[in-house]
Chain A
């Protein structure tokens, strides 16, 4: 998966398709923050529902009516506390949660008039100043002498560590990357968390104290699973999904400019200067989830001329929500449904086109009537799902299914003293907010198991 620049005309992949000014406009905040008056007007729309449906729809069960009422009553800090009590990553969740399928979908005003209270924007309004202040509003609990090892400083690991710190359980996070945040830092679309927000939020969470992060320390490579189990009172695995699925087509691994979307986004997120990032003139994306949308939109924002997402089933089956699909379409991305790639075409070593066959579904089985078409492409992004990469567990006897760790309601694995959460566990939703909930629940269970007062 190399990316190679080529002269226009052949396989056109080049950096700097747009000047710096256009790129910075394109990558500005997707949803600009609410100003005080807007926030208060919006907050007044909330009915303060009994047993609020929005709260039930939030994976972390934030007391939404309460925090919105606090905003309306000019108590922004109190609103932030209400959010953080349930979700210490309320700032990022406010930016990246697909609210249209979570809290806002459940809002009674969605049913009533198709205009839910904009819970996500209000949540951001409440949390922004607290995170900007850079200090967790919680006090670290008096040290209990108990210690936990956490693998992965993504949303799951950080949420777990913060909750453990409140309980007085010290933790060491082993993080393979040089930065904390997991996919917040390396995966989320750039325009959803601008101005280094992921790093600011990670610092805010870690500021509680009692959490040591060992950057560049990968489980399996630099540290052994059995050692962690021996040296710590509890182990929490929050390693996310390490590997991505492949198309399984000939020349997929060798043709230039056939690129894994997640890898490319990580590069994009870490790029100092987006105008130096090469992108194709004609881009094809294969997949139907959030990653497919994100790579398509970001390619467009970098200056790609034609961007086409090709998905093998109908739009209703895409994991990307309607809002996400419309975001792609209004950004100029074409979404083609009911087609799958059958072969890659090259010009020399570089990709030049993708051949697709039409598909349809017969009795739940995907089939093709036999017709094919070709899309000229300088660059192909694969975004067809991620898998767990659990080799780091060194074959420890942990129940695993479909490449994911099996956990119970408390996020306990089958192995005593080992908990897990986030994308790496089975049955999750692969969302930031669910990873946070997993981390929080696991911390509660760990504290209880270690005989530490309930948190």
Chain B
């Protein structure tokens, strides 16, 4: 049985599955239910400064897009940070931490962008005995209009400045939570590191309007006839989160910066993928908000079966293993040739591979052979793009086969050629220049 225990910045948890700062971690009763269900840790719903509590809308605050059978594939929200009184939150955090010593309890924070505000809140939070803080520089709606959340996260100088203040005013580990609503995620990540942050967590939600209601001519979720963009999360954002985590994981300047991954994690596999990209823990929100806390049982069991099957005793045994495989386009081997191959026994003759290749790719799949409906790849045209395999409804029916012997009828070149990439390619203008 694999050991799922994690140690992230010295904060220990029985498994890497944490609930992200969001409604599931808004209060003691939720968090205790989550711990009972098996979650390894939580990041408490973001606290703001002392004073009159935050006011949320009383209209619908969530929107969604659905796949077939109303499977929720993305969620969107316009909720603000906690709307509960600071003192009640602090009291509950203290009680929970006292009762659940073996679980990670991080407190998320967002206060105005001045040193005194951060100093004041950190002192109060420290009294709770929690394990660390996460700086919410990510919320893309509402709070950003007030100069907080993503308004900070989008300016690397601010990120660095606030991280530095926090490190100066607390002994607790400091995690900076990044917004994806930015052109290059490496900049705020580097800024966090330069400011002394112990780790980054990402991604927060992505600016989004889920749909337009064509009857009312308003955003699909509107409040008294008006809507605003919210933040999107859930399964649909996972690829974006993976790309951003990978960018940081392979960035030299960020080397060694611990990452807590967030974004569309719904099953053990999603979490394992982020861990393979170097993440130390996996934070979850939408999946819990879609199915409840019980899903963690599947995550724990799935991750441990996977690790057992692969012979990984501890999380660290495979953490970051996929990072070296991620590179720039220019480093890809241009002499590596694959061709699509259709397993005729599995093929159900729907013809989708043919029509997508015909209409939108390389006209490389025949629809008929000797007048009979039969789908066969034409190696003379196939560029191995993978589109057909992706649209084929039968899993495993179309595979991309690495060609190693013979001549590629499309290019007339040998399949077996030494690896070579764009940096040395004769068509590359900079290579031409160097030759001159």
A residues neighboring B (CB under 8 Å) = 37, 40-41, 44, 47-53, 108-109, 111-112
Is B393 located at the chain interface by the 8 A CB criterion?
yes
Query: Does B348 lie within 8 Å of A108, measured CB to CB?
Result: yes
Mostly, the B contact residues are mixed
Is B350 located at the chain interface by the 8 A CB criterion?
yes
Query: Does B68 lie within 8 Å of A50, measured CB to CB?
Result: no
B365 to A, closest residue via Cβ: A50
Is B394 located at the chain interface by the 8 A CB criterion?
yes
Determine, out of B163-171, B307-315, B351-359, the stretch whose residues face the partner at the interface. Answer: B351-359
What is the CA–CA distance of A41 and B66 in the complex, to the nearest angstrom?
A: 12
Contacts of B351 in A (CB 8 A): 49-52
Mostly, the A contact residues are helix
Query: Does A41 lie within 8 Å of B348, measured CB to CB?
Result: no
What is the CA–CA distance of A49 and B70 in the complex, to the nearest angstrom?
A: 23
What is the CA–CA distance of A51 and B373 in the complex, to the nearest angstrom?
A: 10
Contacts of A108 in B (CB 8 A): 348-350
Query: Does A50 lie within 8 Å of B352, measured CB to CB?
Result: yes
What is the CA–CA distance of A44 and B70 in the complex, to the nearest angstrom?
A: 11
Query: Does A49 lie within 8 Å of B69, measured CB to CB?
Result: no
Query: Does B367 lie within 8 Å of A47, measured CB to CB?
Result: no
Contacts of A40 in B (CB 8 A): 68
What is the CA–CA distance of A200 and B349 in the complex, to the nearest angstrom?
A: 39
Query: Does B69 lie within 8 Å of A50, measured CB to CB?
Result: no
Contacts of A48 in B (CB 8 A): 352
Per-position binary interface string of chain B over residues 63-78, scored 1 when its CB falls under 8 Å from any chain A CB and 0 otherwise: 0000011100000000
Which of B310-352 touch A at CB < 8 Å? Answer: 348-352
Of the candidates A44, A50, A53, A111, the one whose C-beta lies within 8 Å of that of B367 is A50
What is the CA–CA distance of A47 and B355 in the complex, to the nearest angstrom?
A: 12
Query: Does B68 lie within 8 Å of A41, measured CB to CB?
Result: yes
Query: Does A47 lie within 8 Å of B350, measured CB to CB?
Result: yes
Query: Does B69 lie within 8 Å of A111, measured CB to CB?
Result: no
Query: Does B367 lie within 8 Å of A49, measured CB to CB?
Result: no
Offer 5 A-B interface pairs, CB within 8 angstroms, sorted by A: A37-B70, A41-B68, A44-B69, A109-B348, A111-B348
Contacts of A44 in B (CB 8 A): 68-69
Query: Does B69 lie within 8 Å of A41, measured CB to CB?
Result: yes
What is the CA–CA distance of A111 and B348 in the complex, to the nearest angstrom?
A: 7
Of the candidates B349, B355, B393, the one whose C-beta lies within 8 Å of that of A53 is B349
- What is the CB-to-nearest-CB distance from A111 to chain B, in angstroms, rounded to a whole number? 5
What is the CA–CA distance of A40 and B71 in the complex, to the nearest angstrom?
A: 12
Contacts of A52 in B (CB 8 A): 351
What is the CA–CA distance of A302 and B10 in the complex, to the nearest angstrom?
A: 79
Query: Does A51 lie within 8 Å of B69, measured CB to CB?
Result: no
Query: Does A47 lie within 8 Å of B68, measured CB to CB?
Result: no
- What is the CB-to-nearest-CB distance from A108 to chain B, in angstroms, rounded to a whole number? 4
Contacts of B68 in A (CB 8 A): 40-41, 44
Contacts of A49 in B (CB 8 A): 350-352
A50 to B, closest residue via Cβ: B351
- What is the CB-to-nearest-CB distance from A287 to chain B, in angstroms, rounded to a whole number? 36
- What is the CB-to-nearest-CB distance from A65 to chain B, in angstroms, rounded to a whole number? 10
- What is the CB-to-nearest-CB distance from A77 to chain B, in angstroms, rounded to a whole number? 15
What is the CA–CA distance of A112 and B397 in the complex, to the nearest angstrom?
A: 12
What is the CA–CA distance of A50 and B373 in the complex, to the nearest angstrom?
A: 11
What is the CA–CA distance of A51 and B353 in the complex, to the nearest angstrom?
A: 12
What is the CA–CA distance of A342 and B151 in the complex, to the nearest angstrom?
A: 94
Contacts of A53 in B (CB 8 A): 349, 373
Query: Does B348 lie within 8 Å of A50, measured CB to CB?
Result: no
Shortest 7 CB-CB distances between A and B: which pairs?
Answer: A50-B351, A44-B68, A50-B355, A112-B348, A49-B350, A108-B348, A47-B350
What is the CA–CA distance of A36 and B94 in the complex, to the nearest angstrom?
A: 50
Contacts of B350 in A (CB 8 A): 47, 49-50, 108
What is the CA–CA distance of A111 and B350 in the complex, to the nearest angstrom?
A: 10
Of the candidates B69, B70, B352, B373, the one whose C-beta lies within 8 Å of that of A47 is B352
Q: Which of B351, B354, B355, B373 has the most CB of A within 10 A?
A: B351
- What is the CB-to-nearest-CB distance from B345 to chain A, in angstroms, rounded to a whole number? 12
Q: Which of A44, A47, A53 has the most CB of B within 10 A?
A: A47
Per-position binary interface string of chain B over residues 108-147, scored 1 when its CB falls under 8 Å from any chain A CB and 0 otherwise: 0000000000000000000000000000000000000000
- What is the CB-to-nearest-CB distance from B122 to chain A, in angstroms, rounded to a whole number? 50
Contacts of B348 in A (CB 8 A): 108-109, 111-112
List 7 extra interface pairs beyond A44-B68, A51-B351, CB under 8 A: A44-B69, A47-B350, A49-B350, A50-B352, A50-B367, A51-B367, A111-B349
What is the CA–CA distance of A169 and B434 in the complex, to the nearest angstrom?
A: 78
What is the CA–CA distance of A41 and B69 in the complex, to the nearest angstrom?
A: 5
- What is the CB-to-nearest-CB distance from A416 to chain B, in angstroms, rounded to a whole number? 37
What is the CA–CA distance of A414 and B367 in the complex, to the nearest angstrom?
A: 39
What is the CA–CA distance of A41 and B367 in the complex, to the nearest angstrom?
A: 29
Query: Does A50 lie within 8 Å of B394, measured CB to CB?
Result: no
Contacts of B352 in A (CB 8 A): 47-50
What is the CA–CA distance of A48 and B356 in the complex, to the nearest angstrom?
A: 12
Contacts of A111 in B (CB 8 A): 348-349
- What is the CB-to-nearest-CB distance from A112 to chain B, in angstroms, rounded to a whole number? 4
- What is the CB-to-nearest-CB distance from B48 to chain A, in angstroms, rounded to a whole number? 41
- What is the CB-to-nearest-CB distance from A116 to chain B, in angstroms, rounded to a whole number? 11
B69 to A, closest residue via Cβ: A41
Q: Which of B348, B350, B393, B394 has the most CB of A within 10 A?
A: B350
Contacts of B373 in A (CB 8 A): 51, 53
A51 to B, closest residue via Cβ: B351
